[in-house]
Structure 1
Amino acid sequence: MLEQDARVSAVESDGLPLDRKARVNNARQLGKGLRERLAQAFPYVLFDAPPRSIIEIADRRIGAHHITYLRSGKWTGEASIAQAKALGFGETVKLIWQLSGSMAFENRNRRLAIKAGQALLMRHASDCVLTGSDDYECLMLRVHPGADPTWRDLVESGATELRLGCSNAAAAARAGLMALLRQPGHDSTSELAVHSLFELVTRSATREPLEPPSDRIAPSLYRARSLIQQNIADSDYTPERLAHDLGLSRRSLYNRFAESGVTPAAFIRMVRLAQAKREIESDPSAATPLTTIALRNGFPDSSSLSHAIKSAYGVSPRALRGHR
């Protein structure tokens, strides 16, 4: 756990124009430092991220509360409720602003996502898998509900998330937290400022449980799906590579998928199709060519994607766009 007023911040760079070996060593050391800072800011989350995907991270503890800023590329993580409780984060209420990109939370009961511009108030109630998108940028405030008895009732643990509506109050609170994060030192007004900003933004909230996406899968396959999504544009991402990334033998991989009644190859195709379908449905004006959607989801061309969409969903990509 961070010490009072501890603050970490780093921006990744390519280092000095030295020889190749020196640049590689420099990158490794910098990547290691950023990973250590990531573990320090989120001690109850086991991250799986490419070495150079974490671009910037800053964290500051004020009293019993934490402000954290993270900007990165794609990543996945596994949050442990047991570890969170052991470290004193079990009762923590989290206020999350998604500044850009998106993040998905998934446990054995459901999956929900926050998109850029949205904010969410929530509490950890179970182990979950986290997935951050490309161009991920997030500001998070973790408050301890013991600071104010009414805060504990804002979110019912494990049952309700609170989506925060857009308002001038929410924008002011976000700006205030960013200012506190950058402010050096600590005085008696810092914790009072956190309390005031948290009250300011939660008073503008509307209680709207988030709709879970329809592509539900067995809990044992969460990790596999996250890995496929990280490599979704790579048409050569095969069951063999998935097994390697999961640390399983080929036989163990097939046995795991057999429990869910699907083969690894079919599951990879299912994840590709589900993502392509979402992109098509969210683009009713066809601003993005179908070929582009096909290529970034691992299909060789638009014809292959169209055929797969019709086979899986019984409609054409054009019909999917019109359905919205």
Structure 2
Amino acid sequence: MTEVYGGPRRQFVASHAVPPYFASAAGSTLTRPGLARERVDRWQARFVGADSGDEVHRFRGSRGLADFLGTLHVTSTDSAGFDAIVHSRRVGAITIVDCIATPCSVLRSTNEVVEPADAELVLLIPSSGGRLTMPGRPDQTFRAGQLVILSSAEPAEMSVTDVCETVMLTVPIAALGRESAGVLRRLSPISADTALVRATTTFLRRFGQTPSTRVTSERTTDAAQRAVIGLVTSVLAQQSYRAHSLVETTRSIRERTRELVERRFRDPDFAAPDVARELHLSRRQFYRHFAGSGTTPSDVIADRRVAEVRALLTDRPDMSMSEVARAAGFSSTSTMRNRFRDRTGVTPAEFRSQPPGEQWDSEPLGPGEVCL
């Protein structure tokens, strides 16, 4: 069921749904259908005196759930009790939506994304924490009041676990400059907690909750639009710099790790925690820099020792297996044999027994690879 809400001057139009990226989401079971009257009254009080250019939509029950975001897929654990009230307006090229809704989950699939040239930046400030899922990225969680930045050109699913009030602003990406679309694809949609992000979030929330009667003149509208675009552009630039800095730091940590391993791999007591200590990092911080690389610091050490074993087996046929193990930094011949076989597919003895020129001479195998 859908209905007019807020008086005769505010006409509900079913086809003019909220711009598609409000998500308040699945998980909670309501004790009674719909939104509590007291909470609705507090929420609506902000818009007393708003002019006829504002629109207030109310979506209720299963039919309201289906109409809520047009073509986007919206689900709820209590579809019959679904209830959402949406206040929307425009300030220049910016669409502003202030919404309160019972729990539901909103999915923008690949079928609902728009072309990059027509895409909008979608800024959301929810009153509840929740979860964001995007293809090709790990699931992320956000806190109440945290700024979430999405693009209508990318699929995503967003959810929270409680009745949620959300301020949303949509800005054409074209208005932010050519680089913004590319920057957005590289960044985490959950904004980092910096002074600039906190100030921007506060400004956007207050701006989104200001009735249109207070933003009326063309000069005021232009100034407000410039302020929003300027702040958003600054946040994107800062997040891009932070992401770039993290990549550079990770590259440096990996290079320094290999340098330390090269100097100390012959010490059988040398291990990944020793590298972390020398780099003044906690174990968790240290391993985080190898996430997604397909290897670990321990693998780096083991691979270097295996490479040394291969060189000694080839160049020093006079050395015993125990001598080779000690020279390569392995604590025992059995450890050397297991690591060598894991990475090459043959034991050190089998490798040495092969005729010169027929010994397997490519790089060591990675974890899970098999020598054929």
TM-score bracket, shorter-length normalisation? 0.3 to 0.5
The TM-score with structure 1 as length reference comes to 0.45
